[in-house]
Amino acid sequence: MRSDRRSLRHVFRETVCVPNSSSAGRRSHHCGGRRSDMSSEMTAQEVRLCGLLLQEHFGDVVEKVGTHLIRSGVLTLRALAHETKLPLDLVKKSLCVLMQHGMCAFGAGRRGPAGPVEYHIICERILHMLRYPRYIYTAKSLYGDTGELIVEEILQRGQMTMSSTVKTVADRLTHNMPEGQSMDYSEVVSAFSRLVETHFLQRCPPMASAESSSSGADNTPLPAVTQPTEPEDHPECYKLPYINLTGQGKRRRSSEDGEADPRAAKKAKTDSSERGDEGIYWQVNFQRFHLHFRDQAIISAVSCKLDQTSSEIVRTMLRMSEVTTPTHAAFTQALSANEIFRALPSSYNIARPILDQYLTLLVDDPMEFVGKTGDSGGGMYVVNLHRALANLARATLESVVQERFGSRSARIFRLLLRKRHLEQKQVEDFAMVPAKEAKDMLYTLLSENLVQLQEIPKTPDYAPSRTFYLYTVNQLPTARLLLQHCYKTVGNLIERRLYETKENKRLLEKSQRIEAILASLQATGAEAAQLTEVEEMITAPERQQLESLRHHINKLDSSENQVDETIFLLESYINSTQAPR
């Protein structure tokens, strides 16, 4: 089905230089302090990356508004329009777009409900845009093409009602089916319900009305300021509305009578209000996808380190504790070996004692993915989620050092991670590296800030001859440093791609035009001679240039996806170390 989508769509845009100077935004005193997970302190690299992502998806205007709002923290509409020097209408439109996608939230300002509304940006939602292909691919692998299209539609539009999603997806599927067939709405509805049941989709939180405490105030039916709430607080977060939706997807014909469209459009508008789910919007539950990715990472690590059967056991354990484990738990609920044995997929015919051996192996493994918490029921086992994340992050750090500085530097780095503090002499001895080279490597790592120096004075006057200088590595700060490097990397990749596209803009335009001409010629049935004549309008060296450009852009895009995987691991690790809210 995707074969028609494989052709590269060339896009070009002028590179916009995002100014890199930023002081940390002032901390937002957020409306009642409800959303404590929102830190308005964004690093310069994160702000730059957010700006590039906004520009790519929503254009220059939204990018300008968004980056300014990130830097300033919290602003009212008037202040924002004044400071960005954009017309008020454009600012309003941009804020609407950002709110539709859940990237901007509003709340009562500092002057209380009577004052103007203040807006702030939720930065992590913008950074999630980098991961959209991964979300869509996961939905496809779990729920097929229907699920994939549902998630894609909702991601692109921010939030949608169930009925409009079902209709759009059915139409899209019908469009790709052979002539005469069409997709029934009920199939799409069932895929949607499965996504909601497994919590991949959730309702957008309803607006709680701000209390109008002033007595004798005018009785307006709609409150002037509505407060958003957390989606999970709402008890009906995952409840499907009852909608009366029957029918099939419509095939949109290109030669359709123009007059039919306004009628159909009007009908669609009145239909959605009759469907019964007006005002109930659905959004993608990113948290749930992240848990899924985390589980996948753990399972693949186990299968790399041990073997396929162990990974299946861990997968079973994770699957069983999916619903019972709270989101920020350090480890899953304890499962007894008997339960695990019963829940194993039937394709794995392993005997009970073999399972016990595997579990013992998993527990003894230095990676500490699985831990034993008791002996009842044949042994109670848990998956240590936070420790697994820490180990995965550590492996990432070690691999980065290895690829950048060589295996001996990596050996020194690993040594320091394990032994915490070591003197220069000790490093040379333990790592079995000659003194001069060890010094060299240590200084290189020190200059890259991957290794820190700790001074321990013997005397109060910090005399250098009487002080111990110990090298040390702290995993958490190093992970944060690496995460910032990753953001910078993705920013650089995007800018390079924009530059490449801009450089070859003329050529890309020409090739697009020729493609359009060819398509129209083919549609009207031209002879082969005419087609070859048009094709020859692109000369051979130009063709080569186009080919190499396509290759470069593919490589840059692919790198972005891959760096995003590292970003996800490091972010999950850092979030797991922070205290749960």
Partner 1 sequence: MAGSRGRGRSQFTFNVDALGFGRGDSLPTSAQTPSPLFPPMQFRPVPLQTGEEVDYMLALKQELRASSKNLPFHIKAARTKTDVARYSDKYQNGELKNNCIEWSPDWSRMPKELCIKVRKPRKTAIGAKPQLKQKPKVAAKKEEVLQKLETLEKREEEQHSEEEEDEEKKKQNDEEEGPDADEDYDEEEIEDVRKKNHYNLIDNILQSLWCRHLRISFFLRFFQTQKEMSYVKKNIFFCVPQSKESHMV
Judged by CB under 8 A, the chain residues 214 through 243 that form the site for partner 1 are 222, 224-226
455 contributes a contact to partner 1 by CB under 8 A:
no
Task: Please state the closest distance from residue 259 (CB atom) to partner 1, in A.
Answer: 7
Q: Contact region for partner 1 (CB under 8 A) — 24-32, 261-269, 378-386, 503-511? A: 261-269
Please give the helix or strand (H or E) that residue 566 lies within, else none.
Answer: helix 540-577
* Residue among 268 and 354 whose Cβ is closer to partner 1: 268
Task: Please state the closest distance from residue 580 (CB atom) to partner 1, in A.
Answer: 29
Distance between CA atoms of residues 519 and 440, nearest Å: 61
- Give the count of alpha carbons within 13 A of 553, CB side only: 21
- Give the count of alpha carbons within 13 A of 37, CB side only: 12
Q: Which of 180, 235, 262, 326 binds partner 1 (CB under 8 A)?
A: 262
* Residue among 418 and 458 whose Cβ is closer to partner 1: 458
Q: Contact region for partner 1 (CB under 8 A) — 44-52, 188-196, 303-311, 397-405? A: 397-405
Strands in 112-121's sheet, in edge-to-edge order, are 74-76, 112-121, 104-109
Which residues, 6 or more positions from 72, have their beta carbon under 8 angstroms from its beta carbon?
25, 26, 80, 83
Closest CA to 381 of 310, 300, 304, 327: 310
Binding to partner 1, residues 36-95 (CB under 8 A)? 56-62, 77, 86-87, 89-90, 92-95
- Estimate to the nearest angstrom the gap between the alpha carbon of 294 and the chain centroid: 12
Task: Please state the closest distance from residue 167 (CB atom) to partner 1, in A.
Answer: 16
Task: Please state the closest distance from residue 504 (CB atom) to partner 1, in A.
Answer: 16
| R_g (Cα) of the chain, nearest Å | 28
The answer to whether 571 touches 393, Cβ cutoff 8 Å, is no
Q: Which of 253, 259, 532, 541 binds partner 1 (CB under 8 A)?
A: 259
* Residue among 156 and 181 whose Cβ is closer to partner 1: 156
Task: Please state the closest distance from residue 404 (CB atom) to partner 1, in A.
Answer: 7
Q: Which of 236, 261, 448, 536 binds partner 1 (CB under 8 A)?
A: 261
Binding to partner 1, residues 196-215 (CB under 8 A)? 204, 207
- One character per residue 297-326, x = contact with partner 1 (rule: CB under 8 A): ------------------------------
- One character per residue 405-424, x = contact with partner 1 (rule: CB under 8 A): xx-----------------x
Q: Which of 27, 562, 578, 580 binds partner 1 (CB under 8 A)?
A: 562
Q: Which of 436, 527, 529, 532 binds partner 1 (CB under 8 A)?
A: 436
SS3 state at 109? strand
Write the DSSP string, 23-90: PPPPPP--GGG--TT------HHHHHHHHHHHHHHH-HHHHHHHHHHHHH-EEEHHHHHHHHT--HHH
Binding to partner 1, residues 170-199 (CB under 8 A)? none
Which residues, 6 or more positions from 218, have their beta carbon under 8 angstroms from its beta carbon?
none
Q: Which of 18, 80, 97, 291 binds partner 1 (CB under 8 A)?
A: 97
Closest CA to 281 of 186, 163, 167: 163
535 contributes a contact to partner 1 by CB under 8 A:
no
What tokens were used for 407?
A: 């295996």
* Residue among 169 and 313 whose Cβ is closer to partner 1: 169
Task: Please state the closest distance from residue 470 (CB atom) to partner 1, in A.
Answer: 13
- Estimate to the nearest angstrom the gap between the alpha carbon of 554 and the chain centroid: 20
